[in-house]
C-alpha cells in the first residue's frame, strides 16, 4: 500500500501557498520601507515587530500558567525602544552602554516586583527569569538590526534619511537570514530524510541544513556582486563567505531556540498574524541571533580596516 496521503499532500500545498503569500507580503513591505529611506520608517517597522513579539512571548508564558510580569515586560520593551531609537531618528549615536543599563534596570525591577509575593519555590525565580529572558531575547538582541543601520560611514550625515549603504546592509542581513530559512524549508521538504534534532524540531533535517547554507551563500554573494559599492563595508568576497556561513548557522540556531521556547510552553506558533508563518516572534527569531553577530563582526573585524 502506498504511503501517499491526499489530505496530507493538500495540507502541505496549502501551507506552502500561505507561507509564500505571507513572505511575498513581507518582502513588499520591506521593499517599500527600503525605497523610502526614512529612518523613522525602518525603526517603526522594527519597533512594531518587537512589541508584537514581546506580547506573544508573554501570552505563551501566561497560557502555560507560568509566573511572569507581562505589563512590566511590555513597559520595559517600550522604554528601551524609545531611548534607543530617539537618538537614531535625530541622527545621533545611540547612548553607549544602554544595554547594560537596561539589563540592570530590568533585573532590579523584576526582583522588586517579586518582593510583593510570598516565596513559592522555583516559581519565584521563574517570574524574574522569564522577564529577563524575554527582554534580552527580543528587544535587546533584535535591536542590533537597528544598530546596523548606523554602522556604515556617513549614516548620520542627513538626520531622518538613511544612505543606501545603511539600507543595503540591513537588506543583506534579512536576505541571508531568510534565504537560509527558505533554503532549509525547500530542501528539507523535497529531499529531507535524516532528522537533525528530532527532540526539538522533528521537521528539521540535515539535508535542509545543507540547503540553508547553500541558499545563504547565494543570497549573500548575489546581493554583494550586484551592489558592491553599497555593500563595501562587508570587506570583500572572503568576509562575505565567512559571514554567510556564520549567519546561516546562527539562523538555524535561532529558529531552533524559538522551538525550545514554544515546545517548553506547549505552543505551536507564537501568534497567527502571518498565515503559514505564525506570529512576529516566528518571523524575527532567526534575526535575533544573526543581527548581533553581523553587528559585532563589522564593528570589531571590518571597521578597523575599513
Chain segment 262-289, per-residue pLDDT in tens: 999 999 888 877 776 778 999 999 999 9
Residue count of the chain, please give it.
306
pLDDT in tens, 1-58: 333 334 444 466 676 677 667 777 777 888 888 888 899 999 999 999 999 999 999 9
Domain residue limits, the chain = 13-305
Helices (H), the chain: 6-36, 39-63, 70-89, 98-114, 123-135, 141-148, 164-191, 206-226, 237-264, 280-284, 287-297
Whether the CB-CB separation of 241 and 225 falls below 8 Å is answered with no
Which residue reads 549603504 in cell numbers?
165
Q: What's the average model confidence in pLDDT over 239-246? A: 98
Position 276 scores a pLDDT of: 67
Q: How far is CA 210 from CA 141, 226, 283, in A?
A: 26, 24, 21
208 is written with which cell numbers? 535542509
Whether the CB-CB separation of 292 and 144 falls below 8 Å is answered with yes
Contacts of 201 (CB under 8 A, 6+ apart): 255, 256, 259
Residue 157 phi/psi, 5° resolution?
-70, -35
Q: Greatest CA span in the chain, whole angstroms?
A: 68
Amino acid at each position: 500500500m502506498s504511503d501517499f496521503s491526499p489530505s496530507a499532500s493538500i495540507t502541505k500545498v496549502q501551507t506552502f501557498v500561505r507561507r509564500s503569500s505571507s513572505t511575498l507580503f513581507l518582502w513588499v513591505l520591506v521593499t517599500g520601507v527600503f525605497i523610502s529611506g526614512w529612518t523613522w520608517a525602518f525603526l517603526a517597522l522594527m519597533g512594531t515587530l518587537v512589541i508584537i513579539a514581546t506580547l506573544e512571548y508573554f501570552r505563551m508564558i501566561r497560557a502555560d500558567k507560568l509566573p511572569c510580569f507581562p505589563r512590566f515586560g511590555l513597559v520595559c520593551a517600550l522604554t528601551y525602544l524609545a531611548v534607543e531609537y530617539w537618538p537614531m531618528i535625530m541622527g545621533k549615536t545611540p547612548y553607549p552602554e544602554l544595554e547594560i543599563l537596561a539589563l540592570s534596570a530590568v533585573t532590579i525591577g523584576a526582583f522588586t516586583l517579586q518582593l510583593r509575593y510570598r516565596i513559592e519555590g522555583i516559581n519565584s525565580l521563574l517570574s524574574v527569569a522569564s522577564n529577563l529572558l524575554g527582554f534580552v531575547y527580543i528587544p535587546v538582541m533584535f535591536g542590533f538590526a537597528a544598530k546596523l543601520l548606523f554602522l556604515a560611514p556617513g549614516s548620520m550625515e542627513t538626520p531622518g534619511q538613511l544612505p543606501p549603504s545603511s539600507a543595503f546592509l540591513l537588506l543583506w542581513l534579512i536576505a541571508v537570514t531568510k534565504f537560509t530559512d527558505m533554503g532549509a524549508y525547500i530542501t528539507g521538504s523535497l529531499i529531507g530524510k535524516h532528522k537533525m534534532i528530532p527532540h526539538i524540531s522533528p521537521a528539521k533535517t540535515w539535508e535542509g541544513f545543507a540547503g540553508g547554507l547553500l541558499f545563504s551563500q547565494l543570497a549573500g554573494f548575489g546581493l554583494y556582486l550586484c551592489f558592491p559599492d553599497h555593500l563595501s563595508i562587508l570587506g570583500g568576497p572572503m568576509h562575505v563567505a565567512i559571514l554567510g556561513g556564520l549567519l546561516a548557522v546562527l539562523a538555524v540556531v535561532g529558529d531552533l531556540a524559538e522551538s525550545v521556547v514554544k515546545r517548553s510552553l506547549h505552543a505551536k506558533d507564537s501568534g497567527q498574524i502571518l498565515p503559514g508563518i505564525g506570529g512576529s516572534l516566528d518571523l524575527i527569531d532567526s534575526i535575533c541571533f544573526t543581527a548581533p553577530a553581523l553587528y559585532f563582526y563589522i564593528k570589531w573585524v571590518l571597521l578597523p580596516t575599513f
